[in-house]
C-alpha cells in the first residue's frame, strides 16, 4: 500500500510525492513502515487495556515511549514541571541565558531560528510566544 501526498502539498517542497511506504507484516497485527530513506519504523502496539478517557492515538504514543502500565501512564500524563530536567544542565545553556539577558538589557535584538520539522517549528513558536509575553517584538524572517 502506498500513501501519496496530494500534488498541491509537494509543489516547491521536493520532487518526491510519497511520505512513506506501508508494508503489511504478516507476523504482526501492526503495519510495518519504511520512510523514503529506507529506515524502518517500529510501531509498538498500544497497551491492551486503556481507560475509556484515553484516546487510542494517545495510547499508541505512550506505548511508543515505553509507557504501558497505568502507574507509568499516570506519572507521565500528570507530570509536574518539577519533574523536568534542569535546562541549565544542557551544554552552554548558562552562557546562552547570559547572552540573551545582556541583549535584552542593551535593547538588542534576538533572532529565533527553528528547524523545519515539527519539533523545530514548535520550539521556535514557543520561544517567540514567550518573548512576546516578555515584551519582545518579533520580526519576520527574511530570505
Domain end marker among 37, 66, 81: 81
Same domain flag for 75 and 94: no
Same domain flag for 49 and 10: yes
- Tens-place pLDDT, residues 83-136: 888 989 999 999 988 988 888 788 777 888 888 888 888 988 898 888 888 777
**Is there a domain that residue 75 lies in?**
yes
Please report the pLDDT score of residue 27 as a whole number. 60
What are the backbone angles phi and psi of residue 39, rounded to the nearest 5°? -65, 140
Same domain flag for 76 and 7: yes
Same domain flag for 63 and 91: no
Sheet holding 40-41, edge to edge: 2-4, 18-23, 32-35, 40-41
Give the strand pairing for 18-23 and 32-35.
antiparallel
Domain end marker among 62, 81, 100: 81
The angle formed by the CA atoms of residues 93, 98 and 103, to the nearest 5 degrees, is 125
Same domain flag for 124 and 57: no
- Tens-place pLDDT, residues 32-67: 555 667 677 777 776 677 777 788 888 888 888 888
* Cell numbers 506519572: residue: 75
Q: Residue 95 and residue 102: Cα distance in Å, rounded?
A: 10
Please report the pLDDT score of residue 26 as a whole number. 54
How many domains does the chain fold into? 2
- Tens-place pLDDT, residues 1-12: 334 444 444 444
What CA dihedral angle connects 28, 34, 39 and 45, to 10 degrees?
A: -30
Same domain flag for 72 and 95: no
**Is there a domain that residue 36 lies in?**
yes
Amino acid at each position: 500500500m502506498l500513501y501519496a501526498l496530494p500534488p498541491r502539498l509537494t509543489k516547491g517542497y521536493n520532487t518526491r510525492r510519497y511520505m512513506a511506504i506501508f508494508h503489511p507484516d504478516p507476523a504482526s497485527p501492526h503495519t510495518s513502515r519504511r520512510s523514503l530513506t529506507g529506515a524502518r519504523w517500529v510501531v509498538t502496539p498500544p497497551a491492551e487495556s486503556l481507560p475509556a478517557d484515553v484516546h487510542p492515538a494517545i495510547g499508541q504514543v505512550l506505548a511508543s515511549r515505553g509507557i504501558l502500565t497505568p502507574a507509568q501512564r499516570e506519572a507521565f500524563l500528570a507530570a509536574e514541571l518539577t519533574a523536568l530536567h534542569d535546562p541549565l544542565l544542557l551544554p552552554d545553556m548558562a552562557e546562552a541565558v547570559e547572552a540573551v539577558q545582556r541583549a535584552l538589557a542593551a535593547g538588542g535584538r534576538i533572532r529565533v531560528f527553528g528547524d523545519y520539522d515539527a519539533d523545530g517549528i514548535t520550539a521556535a513558536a514557543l520561544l517567540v510566544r514567550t518573548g512576546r509575553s516578555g515584551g519582545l517584538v518579533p520580526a519576520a524572517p527574511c530570505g
